[in-house]
Structure 1
Amino acid sequence: MKNLLSLLTIAFLSTGVFAQTTWKADKAHSQVSFGITHMTISEVEGLFNEFDATIEASEEDFSDAKYTVEIEVPSIDTGVEMRDNHLRNADFFDAEKYPKMTFVSTSSEKVGEGKYKVTGDLTFHGVTRPVTLDVWHRGTVKDQKGNLISGFAISGEVKRSDFNLGPDFPEAVLSDKVVIDVDAEFKKA
């Protein structure tokens, strides 16, 4: 009986240590932004105002984290309504036909203290491609209500040509490189 109790105690403690945790993006303290070079001389930046993001991890340092992001493409916002409407149409995102953009991680490699290379499948405009993003876990704190909150900075680059985005606009007009920046707080569910 004593051995059985010991085994159950070890199993219980192991489950607690390695328990899967889920973290949901706090949208009031998060943003998904992008930047692209226009006419080779200026940076145009924008946001996607509607998105959901989840992180699942069993390691406290997020070294085994799985990231899932879903973005509502029609929520694109560059601060210029005419440009946003153009980006939503078939010349670019074709948001009516492809209203969602998703990223689902497939691997995470720790490259430094709180720093990771996260690879996953990015899908939008009817195309899925693997991309690798830089992830910086800024830390975890408790908010005023005692909830655990973790902060992340995520950045990377994609080529719009890989997703057939704006194929009629040459690099002299719009760079092929699009910079992605996510700054987000996640609350433990």
Structure 2
Amino acid sequence: MHRLSFTVALALASFATYAQTWSVDKAHSKLGFSVTHLALSEVDGNFKTFDAKITATKPDLSDAIFELTADVNSINTENDRRDTHLKGPDFFDAAKYPTLTFKSKSFQKVDGKKYKMTGDLTMHGVTKPVTLDVTMNGPTVMENQRGKQEKAGFKIAGTLKRSDFGVGSSNTAVVGDEVEVKAAGEFAKQDNAVSEVKK
């Protein structure tokens, strides 16, 4: 028993030593989507308020775990009337389900900078697995007036069905069922990553 406890403690200490936390730079990131209207045109939108982070133990981020939270009430399609409708019971029902979340379970390299990411998306009170295509740029050390900092950029794309999450119904058939996810993120490695993990 004592040997097992020592092994577990050693493993946790090793993780605390090498784990990295990367925070999203919101000024250079976007969480967006696109959906068809009347099968004729596309409507683009985004969530203005969101947060995301990456946790990894490998310097090349090849074992990255992505976590994201978005405020549904911040949905923006450049049309106030439409945004109000999307927040209402017919679609997101933001009063009842004010946030959507995503946490990755797998991040696998396909080729070069290309990766496949699978994780759980929770939206409208429903959790479903989704698979996304990811292009990673970096990590690389950038230098500015505040000194050097390690950064990485990600372009994320994928398709999901709103009906899988109970968003909309047959009464909202004017809106396509397939939603194209379009996200881009710039992340910066945090100097206090080790101390945060230890806590």
- Tell me the residue number matched to 1:55: 54
Q: How big is the shift at 1:159?
A: 0.1
- Tell me the residue number matched to 1:140: 139
The reply to whether residue 67 of structure 1 matches residue 87 of structure 2 is no
- Tell me the residue number matched to 1:44: 43
Secondary structure of 1:137 counterpart: strand
Q: How big is the shift at 1:149?
A: 1.4
Q: How big is the shift at 1:140?
A: 2.7
> Which amino acid in the other structure matches residue 33 of structure 2?
F
- Tell me the residue number matched to 1:123: 122
Q: Residues 21, 59 of structure 1: CA spacing in aligned structure 2 closer, same or farther, 3 A cutoff?
A: same
Runs of 4+ in 1 over 6 A off after TM superposition: none
Deviations 1:82-122 (A, max 9, x none): 10011000010000100000000111111111211111000
The reply to whether residue 25 of structure 1 matches residue 28 of structure 2 is no
Deviations 1:11-45 (A, max 9, x none): 9xxx69x8111101000110000000001110000
Equivalent pair of 1:72/1:101 in contact (CA under 8 Å): yes
In terms of fraction of residues, the more helix-rich structure is 2
Q: Residues 105, 180 of structure 1: CA spacing in aligned structure 2 closer, same or farther, 3 A cutoff?
A: same
> Which amino acid in the other structure matches residue 46 of structure 1?
G
Map of 1:34-113 to 2, 5 A cutoff?
34-113=33-112
Secondary structure of 2:82 counterpart: helix
Secondary structure of 2:27 counterpart: helix
- Tell me the residue number matched to 1:3: none
Q: How big is the shift at 1:143?
A: 3.7
Deviations 1:117-140 (A, max 9, x none): 111000010100000011111123
Give RMSD over aligned pairs: 1.6
Rounded Cα–Cα distance in structure 2 between residues aligned with 1:33 and 1:78: 10
> Which amino acid in the other structure matches residue 34 of structure 2?
G
**Aligned positions, number:** 173
**Unaligned runs of at least 5 residues, structure 1:** 1-10
Rounded Cα–Cα distance in structure 2 between residues aligned with 1:27 and 1:44: 23
The reply to whether residue 169 of structure 1 matches residue 172 of structure 2 is yes
TM-score normalized by the length of structure 2? 0.83
Q: How big is the shift at 1:60?
A: 2.2
Rounded Cα–Cα distance in structure 2 between residues aligned with 1:106 and 1:79: 33
Secondary structure of 1:161 counterpart: helix
Query: Identity across aligned pairs (percent)?
Result: 47
